[in-house]
Chain A
Amino acid sequence: MIELTDIRKAFNQGRENEFHALGGIDLQLPAQRVTALRGPSGSGKTTLLSIIGCLSRPTSGRVRLKGQDISGLPERFLTDIRRQTFGFVFQQFNLIKGLSALENVMLPAYPLGGDWRELHEKAQRLLGDLRLSHRREARVEWLSGGEQQRVAIARALINDPEIIIADEPTANLDTALSMEFMAILEKLSASGKTVILTSHDPLVVDSSIVHQVVDMRDGRVVRQDTTRNTMESPA
């Protein structure tokens, strides 16, 4: 589904504080699988995830999405791809304060200009699936961390993306909530979504829900463990 070839990323290029966050990454991310990027802090996980999710461009290297080279596309097309293909669950959740849970969920669909009633129903259904119906009119800043994350998940799903991207999804959650997140993840995976996440949380990376773990260090892939891919794709 996603193929990365010799991806490099340099920050502050040409300046004194030039920094190479990624030093040539080759990676295959299969469709309908859960892949976890693991590695110490500063190893480049978030940077790589941003490139995969079209939030930023690599300094060099190729990104292929379903066979199409997208690394050279102009900003407009990247935005389209981002909206249609990816759903994001950010570590800080990144909900928009002052808006209700429901409005936050609907937000990514606004630029598509679909029918409001349909969109509204869909958002409510998603919140219902995540057991948040009773909180849908609440402003997001009044929600607990676990609730906020579920709103963020619902928002990631509103445009029916094929790929879910989650950066440290359990970093702000306690064990019980992390388990709950894993259960949601399992459902998403079972429904055919491709999931790419980063984590150092053993609860995530050691879980049987994760099909593939990619170990990173200093901007390089040091180990790609596909052997544990025992569980066949749950149909």
Chain B
Amino acid sequence: MNAWIAKQQYLIDFTLSSLARRKAKNLGLLIVYTLIVFLLASVMLFTHALRHEAAHVLDGAPEVVLQRMVAGRHDLIPPGYLERLGRIRGVQNKEGRLWGYYYDPVVKANYTFMVPNREPVPAGTLVVGAALAKARGLAVGNVISFRSYSGKLFGFSVARILSPDTELVSADLVLLNEGDFRNFFEIAPGYFTDIALSVANPQEVRNVATKLAQQFPDSRPILRDEILRTYESIFNWREGIVLALASLAILAFAIFAWEKASGLSAEEKREIGILKAIGWETGDVIKMKFWEGALVSLAAFVFGYVLAYLHVFHTSAMLFTPVLKGWAVLYPHFDLPPVIDGFQVATLFFFTVFPYAAATLVPIWRAAITDPDSVMR
């Protein structure tokens, strides 16, 4: 047993010194390999975290939103609709919502103006998202003015800045008083942007939607599950683009690995012969050589994954921001909460470490099973 352990130690020692002896080759391999793992892992971590985050955000959203349509376009809910909604079974709560978009030419970005239904904002003041505050250089107490769509100038003072924790949702958010909102966008009292309904039992959501469609033929119910699905497909699509690029990288890597791995250099073949001739068993030689490849690919996997983690969760995936997000200008700095999916890690591991190890093993095995008498020549 002791001898067995000592033997493994000798093997590991020799493996490490072999790696060190072929520094240039192994270092080059390590760098390329790490880069590939880094790219793939970044995509996976990023999209996974984003999807996770989006689902999390929608958790707080109402189950059903009713929008009125005029000529196929979203229009304001006229007075009286909310009252007519009265008695639909399963609807726990209903409220008219007021929100809209505002384009700020100063920073060339769209804000979401919104009237909160809980904790109303005092008239003349605003609560703003952290990214927006930063973009406009706002602090609590500052006064900011916006020119409304009708050309009038409105001044507000900043009452509060939203915590950056919720940045994905609130980056571009401006919360304001109902009266201010109606004045700013010139929306008469009684009108709403849409109606939010909460339905406690998920089984009843479809029924509620059907009833709404019957009762208000000019309106369209939007289900949260549908939004969720839309998000999913958007993410999948974006992920698909990046993965298509990544698969090119994988292909290049596969060729590279195959070249590196399948052609043992004459020097390496000779070494295998020498080791066998001086009494190493075929199994020992294969083990040693296998560990050489495995150590490189394992190290690359770990480095690549850690780098990807730092990239996605500490630099906000700055390399991908243009491709993967791209739906708002005001998201320069949102930090996704770190999420790691074990299955993804396993998949990545399987598709990077495994093929390389296998590719290296074949030629080694072939070299190792031949008679060692070639070293005599």
Contacts and interface: CB of A to CB of B under 8 A. Distances in A.
Contact of A79 (B10, B14, B276): B276
A114 B9 CA distance: 11
Nearest to B3: A113
A114 B3 contact: yes
B7 A50 contact: no
B285 to A, nearest CB: 10
B7 A112 contact: yes
B6 A50 contact: no
B17 interface: yes
Contacts of A88: 277-278
Contact of B10 (A50, A94, A113): A113
Interface string B257-277: 000000000010011011111
Given A75-B282, A88-B277, A113-B10, A57 B371 contact: yes
B377 interface: yes
Nearest to B288: A110
B280 interface: yes
B371 A55 contact: yes
A119 B294 CA distance: 28
Contacts of B280: 79, 83, 108, 110-111
A159 B274 CA distance: 16
Interface residues of B, number: 33
Contacts of A114: 3, 6
B279 A55 contact: no
Contacts of B267: 97
B376 A46 contact: yes
B278 A83 contact: yes
Interface string A84-99: 1000101110111111
Contacts of A112: 3, 7
B375 interface: yes
A111 B21 contact: no
A67 B24 CA distance: 50
B327 interface: no
A213 to B, nearest CB: 20
Interface in A64-82: 75-76, 79, 82
Given A83-B279, A107-B278, A108-B279, A94 B375 contact: yes
A56 interface: yes
A103 B2 CA distance: 21
A211 interface: no
Contacts, number: 92
B284 interface: yes
A113 B278 contact: no
B277 A111 contact: no
A101 B113 CA distance: 78
What's the dominant secondary structure at chain B's contact region?
helix
B243 interface: no
B376 A49 contact: yes
A128 B2 CA distance: 29
Nearest to B278: A108
A159 B277 CA distance: 13
B279 A90 contact: no
Nearest to B369: A75
B276 A50 contact: no
A116 B377 CA distance: 32
Contacts of A108: 278-280
A159 B21 CA distance: 25
A224 to B, nearest CB: 22
Interface in B4-62: 4-11, 14, 17, 21
B312 to A, nearest CB: 40
B373 interface: yes
A110 B281 contact: no
A159 B6 contact: no
A108 B5 CA distance: 17
Contact of B277 (A76, A94, A110, A116): A94
A114 B270 CA distance: 26
Contacts of A8: none
Nearest to A79: B281
For A83, A84, A88, the residue with the greatest tally of chain B CB atoms inside 10 Å of its CB is A88
Contacts of A91: 376
A55 B277 contact: yes
A110 B4 CA distance: 11
A90 B375 contact: yes
B372 A55 contact: yes
Closest 3 CB pairs of A and B: A83-B279, A113-B7, A98-B21
Interface of B: 2-11, 14, 17, 21, 267, 270-271, 273-282, 284, 371-373, 375-377
8 contacts: A56-B371, A94-B270, A95-B274, A98-B17, A103-B17, A110-B11, A111-B7, A113-B8
Given A46-B376, A49-B376, 19 more contacts: A50-B376, A79-B279, A79-B282, A84-B279, A88-B277, A90-B277, A94-B270, A95-B274, A96-B271, A96-B275, A107-B14, A107-B278, A108-B278, A108-B280, A110-B284, A111-B7, A113-B7, A114-B3, A114-B6
